[in-house]
Structure 1
Amino acid sequence: MKKPFNYEIIYSSRKTVAIQVTSDGTVKVRAPYRCPRSFIDSFVKKQESWVLKQLAKAEERRRNHPQDNHPPLSEKDRARYMKIARDIFVRKTEYYARIMGVTYGRITIREQKTRWGSCSSRGNLNFNWRLILAPEEVLDYVVVHELAHRKEMNHSRAFYAVVESVLPDYRRQKKWLRENGQKLWEAV
C-alpha cells in the first residue's frame, strides 16, 4: 500500500506516540522503544488528514516566505552554538544562584521547539541554546525564572515575586520573548 508521505520513526524512552511535522515538511513519529511498527503505522494512518494539512501549511510558508528558508544547521555548527550556550548559561546560573541563595543540579543545553528553559523537581536546569541569539537581558530573565523554581515550583504570585526581587523589569523581557521568540528559530 502506497503512503501519501514518508515519515521517520524516532524511538526513545517516552510513553506515548506523537507526530511532528517540521517547518521543512519532514514528518517525524516519536514512539516508545518497544512500540510495534504495526501500531505506529495504524496511528499515522488515523492522523493522515492532520499530517497532510500540516504539510500543506509548511509548503505554503516555504512558497510565500522564501527568505525564511535557511539551509539546515550543520551538526558542527549546532555543537558550536551549544558549547557557547553552555559557557554562558553556566556562568549566569552560578551568578544568579548566589544572589538568590539557591542551589541547582545539572545544567543541560537543548534545542526544544516549545520551551526556553525548565527546572526539574531535582533542580536540574535545561536551557534552549537559541536564547544566545536574544538580547542578554532576556537570557538573564530565563535563568532567574528557572532558578526561581528552586523556591516556588509553580507560576504563582509568590513565584513572580521571587523573579521580580532579582529583575524588577522582568515583564519587559518576558514580553520580548513572547513577541520575538519565533525569530530566534529563523536567525540561523
Structure 2
Amino acid sequence: MAGTIQLGEPPIDVTLKHSARARRLSLRVSGVDGRVSLTMPHRASLREAQAFLRSKEDWIRNHLDRQPDATAIAPGAVIPVEGHPRLIAETRTRAVRLMDDHILIPPGDDQAGARVRAFLKTLARDRLAEASARYSTQLGRPFGKISLRDTRSRWGSCTSEGNLMYSWRLILAPAQVLDYVAAHEVAHLAEMNHSAAFWDEVARLMPDYQAPRKWLRNEGGALHRYHF
C-alpha cells in the first residue's frame, strides 16, 4: 500500500509506503532526486505518519536545501569527467572533444546534451572495459558481456552468467571510483554475495578500495544532477 501526502508550506510531497517488515517509521530523502519517502509498519496510522513528519519537517527542509541544483548540459556548463571539472565550450569542431579543462562542442548545436552524453558513454565503456579486463585477469576468471545503463539504484551488477552492467555516469567520478566499481563487480565472478570472502576478493584486487567506496556512498548521488 502506498500513497502521497503533503507536508507544510510550501508543500513537500511525501510518498508513504507500508511494509510488512517495517518495525518503525523510517524517513528517507533521496540523494539522487530529492524525493521524500516514509516507510510505515502496517499497524501505523495516517495520523501517526503526519505527526512524525511534522516533527521532522525542519530536518527534511534542511536536507532538501543541501541538495545540489540540477545542471543542464549546454555551453557554459561545467561538468566533471573522471572527477575533473570541464567547461563546455563551443568551437570550430565537427565532433565532441575532451581537453584538459574543457569539453569542446560544435557551435550552434541544439543537440549538445545528447552529443556529450554519447561521447561520455563511449569513454565510459572504454575505461570500464579496460578496468574489468585488468581485474578479471588478476582474478583469473573471465567475464561475459559489458553493458551500460543510466541506473539510479546501483552503480554496477554481475549476473550469474558473468555479464557485467555499469552505470555510464561513473565516467563523471574520479578514476579510482570507476576502478573500484569494476573491481567490485569482477569480484562477484568469484563470490556472488557480499560475504567476508567477497570483500577479501575486492581487497586483493584493489587494496585501497575503502576510500573510493566512501566517496561513492557520500558523493555518488550528485552524479545524477547533470541532465543530458
- Aligned residue type for 1:125: L
Partners of 1:172 and 1:116 in 2: how far apart?
Answer: 16
SS of structure 2 residue aligned to 1:49: strand
1:71 aligned residue = 72
How far 1:184 moved relative to its partner? 1.4
The structure whose residues are more often helix, as a share, is: 1
How far 1:78 moved relative to its partner? 2.1
Partners of 1:120 and 1:66 in 2: how far apart?
Answer: 33
1:49 aligns with 2:15: no
- Which one of the candidate residues 182, 186, 195 is aligned to 1:147? 186
Q: How many residues align?
A: 140
Measured on the aligned residues, the alpha-carbon RMSD in Å equals 2.9
| Aligned residues with identical type, % of pairs | 38
Preserved contact between residue 132 and residue 139 of structure 1 (Cα < 8 Å): yes
TM-score using structure 1 length: 0.64
Preserved contact between residue 82 and residue 110 of structure 1 (Cα < 8 Å): no
Partners of 1:180 and 1:66 in 2: how far apart?
Answer: 11
TM-score using structure 2 length: 0.54
Partners of 1:79 and 1:179 in 2: how far apart?
Answer: 26
Partners of 1:66 and 1:164 in 2: how far apart?
Answer: 32
> Pairwise mapping of residues 168-179 of structure 1 onto structure 2 (< 5 A)?
168-179=207-218
The structure whose residues are more often strand, as a share, is: 2
> Pairwise mapping of residues 1-188 of structure 1 onto structure 2 (< 5 A)?
49=4, 53-54=13-14, 68-71=69-72, 74-187=113-226
Partners of 2:195 and 2:149 in 1: how far apart?
Answer: 26
SS of structure 2 residue aligned to 1:109: strand
Greater C-alpha radius of gyration: 2
Could you tell me which runs of 5 or more consecutive residues in structure 1 were left unpaired when the two chains were aligned: 1-45
- Aligned residue type for 1:49: T
Partners of 2:68 and 2:132 in 1: how far apart?
Answer: 36
